[in-house]
Amino acid sequence: MCGIIAYTGTRSCTDLLYQGLRKLEYRGYDSAGLSVLSGGRIEVIRAVGNMDSLEKELEGNGHSDARLGLGHTRWATHGRPSTENAHPHSDCTGNVSIVLNGIIENYVNLRSELAANGHEFTSETDAEVVAHLIENHYNGDLLEAVRLTYADIEGHFAFCAIHSGHPELIAGARKECPLLIGVGKDEAFIASAIPAFLSETRDVIVIGDEELFVATPAGVTIMDLEKNELEREVTQVNWDVDAAEKAGFETFMRKEIYEQPDSLTDTIAGRLPDGGGVVLDEMAISDEVLAGIDKIYIVACGTSYHAGMVGRYVLENWSGVAVELDVASEFRYRDPVLSPSTLVVGISQSGETADTLAAMRQARKLGSKVLAITNIMGSQATRDADGVIYTRAGLEIGVAATKSHVAQIAAIHLLALYLAQARGAMSAGEIDGIASELKAVPELLQTYLRHEATTHEIAKRYYQQPFFLYLGRGVGLPVCLEGALKLKEISYIPTEAYAAGEMKHGPIALLDEGSPVVVVATDGHVYDKVISNIEEVRARSAAVIAVATEGNEGIKAYSDDVMFVPATSELLSPLLSVVPLQLLAYHIAQLKGCNVDQPRNLAKTVTVE
């Protein structure tokens, strides 16, 4: 986790670093800091809390002469959030300053060795050892000191270092955690993610895994670990700068909920051509291989896992291949039975989630083909996979995933149709029929969003309740799991989500008079079963909030409140039915006065296991 940014150039850089950190805040926001070279000394400014705290700390403290500096926004792993633990970290002399994203696994040993040699530590972090190691190795050559430090440390990380004796130079390295360079005229930005410098330059160089770099205003050089220079292309990113702003919405989360029709349209675009069939340009796994697979294994975390769970129903039904599913953090420490005829699908919005990446790598080692479904071009997941399906949700800032989730589900629909095509599991006519329905969903979703007020009213009636139970069957189950996750993560209200048929085996004991029970009861082959479960809930005097299909007036007799979604076929329905649950969570959290874009203890991208 954590976001890092560095600048070298001809402009005063404190504000550039600060603005860059604002764009990286989604990666962590329990403390933040900057270090700049000013008056020949490295000045460090740090604050506990989000960027507003750092902004206060910077007032009247801008060091306008600074042309070289580092910035960091932290999500604590080693050491509680405090000013001392905030980055940047310094060596004993104050000449070296570093920012780091990731984890140094052998820091305990390194720290005691350094301490035994007289180094004094001022924080509880693993990262501080990097500053002291550079100090140890420094002999007038910052790059060499960085290279030797890289060899000392274990784990996964990306870091940038500056030294007061090199007023224009940034050196650093990356292993598994992301690091990109934004190249400008007589300047360079180094950051964990493109939005940090997107307003300044669109020319980007990706630093590869296990590579070193140096940057000065005159240019950047990427090297392997022996300092051999590597050729690197500059790519132009065409992202919309405004995408990183709220565009008139009060929060990023609500803006992103409203971007879901576009996110779906873009994810489907060009992949279901009018002439028929399914086209997936980056699939890169041949039809022949796909025709031979006998098992699909989906690995993912959090919201992406819930998209994967929808995938289990869709893939089995349309492609006829058996599907297994696991959270990546469990999969990687089991002994999963995989073979070259297993297709492992890793789903990750960020393409950086440590557990998902580890699971994908493990699968590859065991000889399986690996497919990544991710939102981020060039992310690590794309490099750890044989093929990719990009979701095209655009930049998602809200920590609570919304538009990336519906895009993931649509990507799974595309994968299922593609497999069905490659394996001859469905006729061309059947595939085209589903394709037409899928293409109609964005418009249906747009229509649904006009009825947000209903959900707001329902939220007003229930937001003070201490607990919510979610129940669903079939594809309604992952929708419930996702709805319950959304509510707990942004409102801090405890929730449970259960397969409706399992309720009588335990969770029913939680129900009391008026307990809110959210039930996904959209049309489908298990609808009557869901109604029976609703009856069981009502017999305990609990309150039923149903998500149902428009036109089903009968559901009103079984529910206290209903959120209607437009009709579509059962396996496509999660694209619509999850949206009222996102909005319900959103409005409840807003009514409770919670910060929905930055829920406590969370970060958007989880690059630690």
Binding site for ligand M6R (CB under 6 A): 301-304, 348-350, 353, 356, 399-401, 489, 605-606
In whole angstroms, the minimum distance from the beta carbon of 28 to ligand M6R comes to 13
Residue among 338, 317, 324 nearest 296 (CA): 324
For ligand M6R, which is the closer residue by CB, 206 or 401? Answer: 401
Cα(283)–Cα(275) distance, rounded to whole angstroms?
A: 20
Compute φ and ψ for 36, nearest 5 degrees.
-135, 150
Q: Is the dihedral angle over the CA atoms 483, 489, 495, 498 positive or is it negative?
A: positive
Shortest distance in whole angstroms from residue 454 CB to ligand M6R:
23
R_g (Cα) of the chain, nearest Å: 25
- Give least dist CB 407 to ligand M6R, A: 11
Find out whether 546 and 562 touch, Cβ atoms under 8 Å.
Answer: yes
Helix or strand (DSSP H, E) at 563: strand 561-565
> Please, what is the minimum distance in Å from the beta carbon of residue 411 to ligand M6R?
12
Smallest separation, CB 49 to ligand M6R (Å): 21
- Please, which residue, 53 or 353, has the CB nearer to ligand M6R? 353
Pair type for strands 31-38 and 68-74:
antiparallel
User: Residues with Cβ < 8 Å from 28, sequence gap 6 or more?
Assistant: 1, 2, 3, 73, 74, 75, 76, 603
**Which residues, listed in sequence order, are joined to residue 468 by a DSSP beta bridge?**
495
- Residues ≥6 apart with Cβ < 8 Å to 417: 272, 278, 318, 426, 431, 434, 435
**Cβ distance to ligand M6R smaller for residue 376 or 543:** 376
d(Cα 565, Cα 576) in Å, to the nearest integer? 6
Indicate the residue among 45 and 493 with the shorter CB distance to ligand M6R: 493
Q: Is 576 exposed, middle or buried (0-12, 13-18, 19+ CB in 10 A)?
A: buried
Helix (H) or strand (E) holding 498: strand 495-499
Structure tokens at 600: 């406590």
Report d(CA 325, CA 323) in Å as an integer: 7
Judged by beta carbon, residue 172 or residue 178, the one nearer ligand M6R is: 178
Which pair of tokens denotes residue 23? 């764009």
Rank residues 266 and 489 by Cβ distance to ligand M6R and give the closer one. Answer: 489
Q: Which is nearer to ligand M6R, 302 or 516 (CB)?
A: 302
Helix axes 403-423, 302-319, angle to 10 degrees: 30
Quick count: other Cβ atoms within 10 Å of Cβ 224? 12
Residue with Cβ nearer ligand M6R (38 or 304): 304
Nearest position to ligand M6R, beta carbon: 302
Minimum distance, C-beta of residue 356 to ligand M6R, in the bound complex (Å): 5
Q: Give the three-class secondary structure for 68.
A: strand
> Is 407 in contact with 375 (CB distance < 8 Å)?
yes
Q: Which is nearer to ligand M6R, 138 or 258 (CB)?
A: 258
Q: Tokens for 176, please give them.
A: 């598994």
Residue 425 pairs in a beta bridge with none
The rounded distance, in Å, linking the Cα atoms of 183 and 202 is 8
Distance CA(194)–CA(309), nearest Å, equals 30
Residues 8, 217: Cα–Cα separation, whole Å: 6
How many other CB atoms are there within 10 angstroms of residue 51's CB atom?
20
- Minimum distance from residue 237 beta carbon to ligand M6R (Å): 19
Sorted by sequence, the CB contacts under 8 Å of residue 578 that are 6+ apart come out as 405, 406, 409, 479, 482, 483
Helices marked H in 138-206: 142-152
Annotated catalytic sites, by residue?
2, 604
Length of the chain: 609
The least distance separating ligand M6R from the CB of residue 399, rounded to whole angstroms, comes to 6
- Count the neighbouring beta carbons within 10 Å of the beta carbon of residue 414: 23
Residue 551 C-beta: closest distance to ligand M6R, Å: 31
Residue (294 or 330) nearer to ligand M6R, CB: 330
Q: In what order do the strands lie in the sheet with 543-549?
A: 495-499, 468-472, 516-521, 543-549, 561-565
Supply the minimum distance, in Å, between the C-beta of residue 400 and ligand M6R.
4
Nearest approach, Cβ of residue 585 and ligand M6R (Å):
10
- Between CA 163 and CA 42 the distance in angstroms is 8
C-beta of 101 vs 149, nearer to ligand M6R:
101
